[in-house]
Amino acid sequence: MVAPIVYTTHDIVLTGLDLTTLLAGSAAPLAETPSGVANGDTFVNTGREIFVHINGDGANAKTVTFSEKACSYGVEHDHLVTTPANKTYLYGPFPTEAYGTSIPVAYGGTGALTNVKVLVVRLPTMS
């Protein structure tokens, strides 16, 4: 079992952005370990983060669960999403009021997680 990690968040600037390079995996920000991503991984949340989920599994959809803080009734309303086989989906942003400043991530679906990559990017503030 892979030990959980904290994903590095990469700031997006409005000039010189090359998201294609990041998503192609030629840059370091993609979280890819020998055993893939792991349940319990987290990322820092300021409310401007976008979670890029790259499902490289050619046959199986993968689920991602983003854990929310407990509501005023003490219940956590986790957000479950599904990325189809061989697709890349973007999720977020995640309001800090609902998710807090650190978001735990859990993965599911059929097959191993070794073909899954993630990238967390922070959108710039607009003035």
Report which of 121, 119, 122 is spatially closest to residue 56, judged by C-alpha positions: 119
Q: Is residue 104 part of a domain?
A: yes
| Mean pLDDT (whole number) for 80-92 | 92
Q: Structure pTM?
A: 0.74
- The number of beta carbons lying within 10 Å of the beta carbon of residue 77 is 11
Residue 42 and residue 104 in contact, taking contact as beta carbons nearer than 8 Å: yes
Q: How far apart (Å, rounded) are the C-alpha atoms in residues 62 and 7?
A: 19
CATH code: domain of residue 24: 2.60.290
In the numeric block, which tokens belong to residue 32? Answer: 């890819």
Q: CB–CB of 119/29 below 8 Å?
A: yes
* Secondary structure (3-state) at 22: helix
Which residues are bridge partners to 11 per DSSP?
122
User: pLDDT tens across 61-76, in order?
Assistant: 999 999 998 888 888 8
Query: By the 8 A CB rule, do 118 and 7 touch?
Result: yes
Residue 45 counted as domain residue: yes
Nearest Cα to 36, choosing from 69, 70, 64? 64
User: How many domains is the chain built from?
Assistant: 1
Q: Look at residue 27 and tell me whether its pLDDT is greater than 50.
A: no
Rounded distance between C-alpha atoms, residue 58 and residue 49, angstroms: 27
1 part of a folded domain: no
* Residue 85 reports pLDDT greater than 80: yes
Evaluate whether residue 127 is within a structural domain.
Answer: no
Domain that holds residue 13: 6-122
Per-residue pLDDT, 52: 86
